[in-house]
């Protein structure tokens, strides 16, 4: 998987599982020295504030380890609900699907070589 | 004493129907374009049938009695249907009031004693007036249903999401953006993003009469939801007045790409997708 | 007039109850033909409230009802716990306020996702939250 890790969440997670995911993923990034993490949530039907917080945590934690996190494939209903809930996943990059997520990570890596930090694509 | 009012109505059912139909056919408010005469007759026969079946000497001045339920039900059905078929309130009202005339005429022919006639007329008046009220209530309810349905249809057709280029969607918003409309807009936009795999959406608000802080909030929500999906949103069609109000109200749109026209938004979208549109150089021919 | 068409209750005692509970709510929503977006909003709100109940009171009871009013039908959920209660309701309903270590979006966020929201709490006795989402709300 080159410099990127891909995680596909296929079931609705309860809290303990989500926390495990967070811990495992951060471990994995450290072990592999991955420069990017893709989290595919296209099969997830509910993202509540807890799950949203986990996604945000993963993004911040991996960033400290010099890897960017992209959440891909969010369902329209989930996006609308998150906005209404008041959660816009600040600091988490998003993409429509895995392919585009990869492309986004690749451009971020390329940019890294060219210039210093650029967070222009961050979600507000 | 002559036979009672209720019995009179029961035994003269057929004559009453004829009288009523005659009155309706003679009326200048007859709408044979909306309903055939046979249908009208059938409808009227049902109503008279129910009325004469349920009316008794005891309940004639007790309109609230549930013995009239069947009559009210049939009448409600008729006026509901008329509201949807496009009858005017006047036409629907006259339908039931012409029955009153027919009954009164019948009573006049049958009851010779003036005192008795007056009592009968008063009773019939009260009964038919409440039927009139029911007619109006249900007529208005029918109209409201029509309006409700149209509102839904309008909100559906007024939010077309168009794919204007590969990967680029446009959504012209016409009219005010309230919260229920925002829901419809968001839903159809996000679904279309998934269906077409588009990464850029242009929201054109040229057709939005005014942007207040609530409308702006709805726009910001739509943009945020689009970004969560992994697509970018451009707002175009910002008129000078809108720019003014937005600043005066202190609405922060600095995180959103805004363009004056749909054309410049499209140009920006092309640039984001690393595409250029250029005019082909045509060789000038000399003749 | 609000009428209850069906009633179902479930007790929440463990964290693992969250997922089956969400499925029960979804079943009720699907039964009345609620659209996917409203379903998601309802289940997310329910999820927030169940988590609160679990975190602050260690669990409780949830009543799942299908209700109707005129031509509208909806799903009503009532969360009842015997926890410590909420001392300051106004503060609890504020975005970003939390006595626990959370984002503080639970109560105000859940309220934004549903059509009706009613919170009653007595310190030392417990908290009851009722939410209602109409099919087309």
The pLDDT confidence band at residue C102, using thresholds 50, 70 and 90, is low
Average pLDDT over residues B236-243: 90
What's the CA dihedral at B139, B142, B148, B150 to 10 degrees? Answer: -100
- The domain tally of chain B equals 2
Residue at which a domain ends, from B152, B181, B212: B152
Task: Give the CATH number, domain containing residue A32.
Answer: 3.30.750.24
Radius of gyration of chain B (CA): 32
A8, part of any domain: yes
B227 and A101 within 8 Å at the Cβ level: the answer is no
Predicted confidence (pLDDT) per residue in C10-33, tens digit: 998 888 888 899 999 999 999 999
User: Are B115 and B170 in a shared domain?
Assistant: no
Predicted confidence (pLDDT) per residue in B259-283, tens digit: 999 999 999 999 998 888 888 887 7
Average pLDDT over residues C59-64: 93
Sequence-ordered strand ranges (E) for chain B: 162-165, 168-174, 200-207, 232-236, 257-258
Separation in Å, CA of A12 to nearest CA in chain C: 7
Average pLDDT over residues B153-165: 81
pLDDT exceeds cutoff 80 at C69 = yes
What pLDDT was estimated at residue C104? Answer: 64
DSSP assignment, residue A124? -
A123, part of any domain: no
What pLDDT was estimated at residue A97? Answer: 93
B279, part of any domain: no
What pLDDT was estimated at residue A47? Answer: 92
A122, part of any domain: no
Task: Give the CATH number, domain containing residue B194.
Answer: 3.30.750.24
User: Are B126 and B188 in a shared domain?
Assistant: no
User: Are B111 and B69 in a shared domain?
Assistant: yes
Task: Give the CATH number, domain containing residue B127.
Answer: 1.10.490.130
Predicted confidence (pLDDT) per residue in B30-67, tens digit: 787 888 888 888 888 888 888 888 888 878 777 777 78
A119, part of any domain: no
Average pLDDT, chain B: 86
The span from the first CA to the last CA of chain C, in angstroms, equals 17
Specify the higher pLDDT residue, C107 or A41: A41
User: Are B185 and B126 in a shared domain?
Assistant: no
Only one residue has tokens 């210039």, namely A115
Only one residue has tokens 């210093």, namely A116
Average pLDDT over residues B219-224: 92
* Beta-sheet pairing, A68-72 with A36-40: parallel
What is the layout of strands, in order, in the sheet containing B162-165? B162-165, B168-174, B200-207, B232-236, B257-258
User: Are B87 and B180 in a shared domain?
Assistant: no
Interface test with B, best of A75, A81, A83, A92 (most B CBs within 10 A): A83
The pLDDT confidence band at residue B234, using thresholds 50, 70 and 90, is very high
- Look up the domain containing B42 and give its range: 5-152
The answer to whether residue B255 neighbours chain A at the CB level (below 8 Å) is yes
- The domain tally of chain A equals 1
Residues B142 and B238: their CA atoms lie apart, in Å, by 40
Determine phi and psi for C44, rounding to 5 degrees: -65, -45
Predicted confidence (pLDDT) per residue in A61-108, tens digit: 999 999 999 999 999 999 999 999 988 888 899 999 999 999 999 988
pLDDT exceeds cutoff 90 at B13 = no
- Neighbours of A (≥3 Cβ pairs closer than 8 A)? B, C
B100, part of any domain: yes
What pLDDT was estimated at residue A124? Answer: 45
B285, part of any domain: no
């Amino acid at each position: 998987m080159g410099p990127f890790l891909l995680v596909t969440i296929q079931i609705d997670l309860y809290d303990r599982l989500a926390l495990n995911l967070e811990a495992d993923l951060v471990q994995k990034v450290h072990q592999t020295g991955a420069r990017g993490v893709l989290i595919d949530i296209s099969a997830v039907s509910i993202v509540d504030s807890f799950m949203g917080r986990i996604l945000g945590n993963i993004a911040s934690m991996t960033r400290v380890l010099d890897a960017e996190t992209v959440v891909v494939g969010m369902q329209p209903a989930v996006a609308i609900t998150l906005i209404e809930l008041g959660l816009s996943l600040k600091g988490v990059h998003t993409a429509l699907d895995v392919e585009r997520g990869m492309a986004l990570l690749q451009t971020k890596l390329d940019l890294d070589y060219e210039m210093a930090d650029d967070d222009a694509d961050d979600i507000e | 004493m002559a036979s009672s009012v209720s019995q009179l109505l029961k035994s003269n059912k057929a004559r009453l129907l004829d009288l009523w139909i005659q009155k309706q056919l003679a009326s200048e408010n007859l709408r044979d374009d909306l309903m055939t005469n046979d249908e009208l007759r059938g409808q009227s026969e049902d109503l008279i049938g129910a009325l004469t079946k349920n009316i008794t000497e005891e309940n004639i001045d007790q309109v609230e009695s549930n013995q009239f339920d069947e009559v009210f039900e049939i009448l409600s059905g008729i006026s509901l249907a008329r509201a949807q078929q496009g009858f005017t309130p006047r036409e629907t009202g006259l339908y039931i009031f012409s029955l009153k005339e027919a009954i009164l005429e019948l009573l006049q022919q049958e009851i010779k004693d003036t005192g008795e006639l007056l009592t009968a007329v008063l009773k019939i008046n009260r009964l038919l007036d409440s039927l009139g009220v029911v007619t109006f209530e249900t007529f208005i309810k029918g109209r409201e249903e029509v309006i409700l349905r149209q509102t839904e249809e309008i909100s559906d057709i007024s939010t077309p999401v168009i794919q204007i280029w590969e990967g680029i969607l446009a959504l012209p918003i016409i009219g005010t953006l309230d919260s229920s409309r925002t829901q419809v807009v968001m839903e159809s936009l996000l679904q279309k993003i998934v269906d077409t795999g588009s990464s850029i959406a242009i929201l054109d608000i040229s057709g939005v009469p005014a942007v207040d802080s609530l409308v702006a909030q709805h726009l910001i929500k739509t943009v945020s939801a689009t970004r969560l999906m992994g697509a970018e949103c451009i707002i175009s069609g910002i008129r000078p007045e809108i720019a003014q109000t937005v600043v005066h109200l202190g609405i922060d749109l600095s995180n959103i790409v805004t363009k004056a026209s749909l054309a410049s938004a499209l140009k920006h979208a092309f640039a984001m997708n690393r595409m250029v549109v250029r005019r082909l150089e045509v060789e000038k021919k000399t003749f | 007039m609000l009428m209850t068409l069906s009633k179902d209750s479930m007790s929440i005692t463990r964290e693992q109850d969250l997922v089956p509970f969400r499925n029960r709510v979804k079943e009720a929503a699907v039964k009345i033909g609620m659209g996917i977006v409203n379903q998601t909003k309802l289940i997310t709100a329910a999820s927030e409230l169940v988590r609160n109940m679990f975190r602050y009171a260690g669990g409780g009871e949830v009543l799942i009802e299908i209700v109707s009013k005129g031509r509208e039908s909806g799903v009503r959920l009532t969360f009842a716990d015997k926890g410590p209660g909420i001392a300051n309701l106004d503060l609890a309903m504020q975005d970003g306020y939390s006595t626990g270590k959370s984002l503080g979006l639970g109560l105000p966020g859940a309220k934004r996702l549903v059509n009706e929201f009613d919170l009653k709490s007595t310190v030392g006795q417990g908290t009851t939250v009722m939410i209602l989402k109409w099919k087309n709300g």
